[in-house]
Amino acid sequence: MKTATASTKGSILGYPRILVAPPGPRAKSIIAKDKEFSSPSYIKEYPLVIAGGKGAMVEDVDGNRYIDWMAGIAVSSTGYQHPVVTKAVVDAAGKFLHICGTDFYYEGFSDLCEALAKSMPGRDKWRVFLSNSGTEAIEGMVKLARQHTKRHGLISFDSSFHGRSYAAMSLTTSKVKYRHDFGPMLDVHHLPFHNPYRNTVEQCVGAAQSLFETKLSPSNVAAVVMETLQGEGGYVMPSKEFLQYWRKFCTDNGILLVFDEVQCGAGRTGKMWAFEHYGVVPDILVTAKGIGAGMPIGAIVAKESVMTWPRGSHGSTYGGNPLACASALATIGLIKEELGENATKMGTRLLAGFKKLQAKHPCIGDVRGLGLFVGVELVKDRKTKEPAHDLMADLEQLAFTKGLLLLGCGKSTIRVAPPLVLTAYDVDKGLEIFDECLTELT
Ligand code: PLP
């Protein structure tokens, strides 16, 4: 079998290995049941049926092993079976599963609020609201921003993704399928996000000025909501000037600046928060995904002067569940001790490898990244920069058959967002497979 030979070649750690072309027989039977009973709205990128994993390796139900470069959409930050995280969750499960942090107290809840509040820079004091997911944190953030400012206007950006509830969906513009037929939306004004590969800060600022001159008074705006680094929209890193412009604009106009770091935060870029690379501090930070390393948790972290909503105005039955708090506390400890540093080291190695591949493959238009938040944009032509959507889709599928888990984003970008425990082997072997796939496909 051609793919099996290719993917097992050079494997020194027992992975990647393809024993049977995926989906194998066990995978097929699970997929058949899923197709019969689960909602048709699920995407299911490719037929991966996971049985377990270790570090940055994922094993499927037929014994195939893959290098994971996507971490379940930037979530499994500590990889699979991390002993510290697993122990923290198991220990917590041995004590109690629930009491409701909105109404009562427990140590893990207060400890996590403290850890997140103290992770923020500067002299301000911060407070924390714990939710179950990124979407729920975004939803709560919109309520907080409106309640605090007594204004209703919201600004977000083209190609952004903030989730799928009504407020989050209204902020989201990365793909029309997330909004189609679901209206009416909340009243959100969308402006261009700075994408150094495709537009300029001047163009973005010009569009903002035009909006405020013709359609919207800044005095009606509660919050400007942006992903510090765009995830779903294409792994886009704006310039410092862009973030500085919005910081100043918000300060001058009494508007709250909100950074959504659900995908790019929690150590992924090498620092705890991506905004730390820019020296621009928001009024509210939203986090989820990697902070829980797989346990469902999200958080709104806001300046104390902003988190002024009264008792009972917002809450959640499960938000800050004790198992999720235990996982998040263990994860924050690991990020500080070693994983942030590893993300920087492995991210540098990965970027250097992709730059080499860019010199070899004309279809790689742009390579960009901070730590283990890396985007590889594929184009039909480097001059026109026309997105190569089909190539991205084919690459995802082919890499899967060779033992590398990839995930696309934007129109034609491969997002590389692996577990932060990634090793040099995982980087080099993954790059080898990536190279091999592009050679076959182009
Ligand atoms: N914000 C960003 C930047 C995201 O990437 C996501 C999910 O992909 C969300 C919010 C929504 O988070 P969740 O899927 O946990 O609800």
Q: In angstroms, rounded to a whole number, what is the distance separating the alpha carbons of residues 264 and 275? A: 9
3-state secondary structure string across 253-311: HCCEEEEECCCCCCCCCCCCCHHHHCCCCCCEEEECHHHCECECCEEEEEECCCCCCCC
For the chain, list residues with pLDDT below 50: 1-10
Q: What's the pLDDT tens digit per position in 22-43?
A: 999 999 999 999 999 999 999 9
Q: How far is the CA of 421 from the centre of ligand 1 (A)?
A: 22
Of all protein residues, whose CA lies closest to atom 1 belonging to ligand 1?
162
Tokens of 188: 């959100």
Mutate to test the pocket of ligand 1, among 162, 164, 413 (most ligand atoms within 8 A of CB): 162
Q: How far is the CA of 287 from the centre of ligand 1 (A)?
A: 9
The pLDDT score that the predictor gives to residue 3 is 40
2-82+339-441 fold = Aspartate Aminotransferase, domain 1 (3.90.1150)
Could you give the 3-state DSSP secondary structure of residue 225? strand
Atom in ligand 1 nearest the alpha carbon of residue 298: 15
Radius of gyration for the chain, computed over Cα atoms and rounded to the nearest angstrom: 22
DSSP 8-state code for residue 185: P
Q: How far is the CA of 74 from the centre of ligand 1 (A)?
A: 10
Residue 225: which of 276, 168, 267 has the closest Cα?
168
Q: What's the pLDDT tens digit per position in 79-129?
A: 999 999 999 999 999 999 999 999 999 999 999 999 999 999 988 999 999
Question: Residues enclosing ligand 1, CB less than 6 A?
Answer: 73, 133-135, 138, 161-163, 227, 231-232, 260, 262-263, 288-289
The 3-state DSSP composition of the chain as helix, strand, coil percent (nearest 5) reads 40, 20, 40
- Name all contacts of 438-441 with Cβ < 8 Å and 24+ positions apart: 438/357, 438/361, 438/363, 438/364, 438/395, 439/361, 440/398, 441/391, 441/394, 441/395, 441/398
- Given a contact cutoff of 8 angstroms between Cβ atoms, the answer to whether 296 and 321 are in contact is yes
- Given a contact cutoff of 8 angstroms between Cβ atoms, the answer to whether 304 and 278 are in contact is no
Atom in ligand 1 nearest the alpha carbon of residue 73: 8
Residue 129: which of 120, 121, 138 has the closest Cα?
138
Atom in ligand 1 nearest the alpha carbon of residue 230: 3
Atom in ligand 1 nearest the alpha carbon of residue 133: 15
Q: In angstroms, rounded to a whole number, what is the distance separating the alpha carbons of residues 88 and 293? A: 12
CATH of 85-335, one of 1.25.40.10, 3.40.50.720, 3.40.640.10, 1.10.760.10: 3.40.640.10
The residue ranges of every structural domain in the chain are 2-82+339-441, 85-335
Q: How far is the CA of 233 from the centre of ligand 1 (A)?
A: 12
The pLDDT score that the predictor gives to residue 317 is 97
Atom in ligand 1 nearest the alpha carbon of residue 261: 3
Mutate to test the pocket of ligand 1, among 263, 295, 316 (most ligand atoms within 8 A of CB): 263
